[in-house]
Amino acid sequence: MRRTTLLMLTAAVLGGGAPVGAQDVEIFNTVLEKIRRGEQVVGGTIDTPDPDIYCAAANAGFDFMWIEMQHSPLSYTQVADMIWACRDAPAIPFIRIPAPTEGDIQKATDIGALGIIVPMVDSMDEIRDAVTYAHYPPMGKRSQGGGQYGAIWGRNYRQAANENIMVVAMIEQPEGVDIIDQVANLEGVDVVFVASSDLSSFTGRRQGDPQYEALVTRVRDTTLAAGKAVGGPLGWMTSREGYSFFQGPSAQALIRTGGRVTLEEADPCRFLPPGTAPVPGEDPCEE
C-alpha cells in the first residue's frame, strides 16, 4: 500500500498550557487522501467469502472494497482471510458492519478495515457509539487487543489509526434525515451516505418525487456545509452534483458484465437479432 505522511501538531498541557511538540502521523488510507483532494472514490461490493474473488475486485481499480456484512452471512474470520489474502491490493478495506456495537467495530478494525460503514443511522447514540468504538483514546474507547492490523498497516498503526480510520454514516430513513445536522457535524464522521433504495423503501417515494428529492437534497447540502463528503450509489456519479463517495457493483454483477463484454468482443452478433448491425454501417448479423 502506498503511504504518505501528514504533519500533525500535537498539544500537551504543561504549566501555562502551551502546545508543545510535533509528530509525523502516517496517512495510509488512500481513500481519505483522495477525498481530501476533492476526488471521487468508488468501492466494489463484496458479499462472498472467496479470497480469489475479493482479490480480483481489490485489484480491478476500485478505491476501496465495500465488504458487506449487514446483508450477508460473512463471518469476521472469513473477512479477515479475505483482507489478509490481498493485503497489498490498492483498494482499501471498508466493512459495512451489522450494527454499531463495540464487538462488531472492534473485530472490523482489528482485522484491518480502515472504513466502518454504519447502516440505518436514525439516532445520535448509534453514530456516537460508532465513532467512539472505532477510535483509540483519547478520541474514543477502542481497546488495544490483538489482530492483523499491525501486520497490514505497519508498526506505527496505534499512533496513526485515529487519523486513518473513517466512519461512514448511512442515512436510510426519514428519522435519519431529521438528525442530519447533528450527524454531519459530529467529529469523527467522515462521510454521510444517502442510501437511495432504502430511503425510497422507507418513504414509499421514488427518485424524482419532490418529497424524496427534498430529503436527499437536505442530506447533501447539510453534509457539504459541514465540510464532510457525501456518498451515494454509483449511478449518481455523473447525474448529481456534490457526491464523492460511491458504492459500486457487486462481484456477481461484475462477473455478469465482464462475461457479457468478453462474449460481445468475441462475437458482436452474439446478443443481437438477425438482420441487426452491431455498429451502424456495418454488415448486419446473419440469419
Q: How many whole angstroms from its chain centre is CA 16?
A: 42
Give the pLDDT confidence score for residue 4 in this predicted structure.
Answer: 44
Coil, helix or strand at residue 199 = helix
Grid-cell match 451489522, residue found: 98
pLDDT in single tens digits along all 287 residues of the chain: 434 444 333 333 333 333 333 357 889 999 999 999 999 999 999 999 999 999 999 999 999 999 999 999 999 999 999 999 999 999 999 999 999 999 999 999 999 999 999 999 999 999 999 999 999 999 999 999 889 999 999 999 999 999 999 999 999 999 999 999 999 999 999 999 999 999 999 999 999 999 999 999 999 999 999 999 999 999 999 999 999 999 999 889 999 999 999 998 999 998 999 888 888 888 889 87
209 phi, psi to nearest 5 deg = -65, 135
Instruction: Output the pLDDT for position 227.
Output: 97
Taking alpha carbons only, the member of 205, 207, 198 closest to residue 247 is: 198
Question: Phi and psi of 204, rounded to 5°?
Answer: 75, 15
Cell of 248: 459500486
Q: What is the distance between the alpha carbons of residues 41 and 270, in angstroms, rounded to a whole number?
A: 34
List Cα–Cα distances, 259 to 48, 162, 173, 254, in angstroms: 18, 41, 36, 8
Between CA 268 and CA 278 the distance in angstroms is 6
From the list 3, 36, 71, 270, the catalytic residue is 71
Query: How many contiguous H segments (helices) and E segments (strands) does the chain have?
Result: 12, 10
CA–CA distance, 153 with 161 (Å, rounded to integer) = 9
Q: What are phi and psi of 245, to 5 degrees?
A: -130, 120
CA distance 39 to 32: 10
Catalytic site residue 71? yes
Cell numbers describing residue 233: 450509489
The predicted structure's pLDDT at residue 6: 43
Distance between CA atoms of residues 43 and 63, nearest Å: 6
CB within 8 A of 66, min separation 6: which ones?
43, 44, 45, 46, 94, 96, 117, 247, 248
Contact 66, 43 (CB under 8 A): yes
Q: Which domains, from first to last, does the chain contain?
A: 40-263 (3.20.20.60)
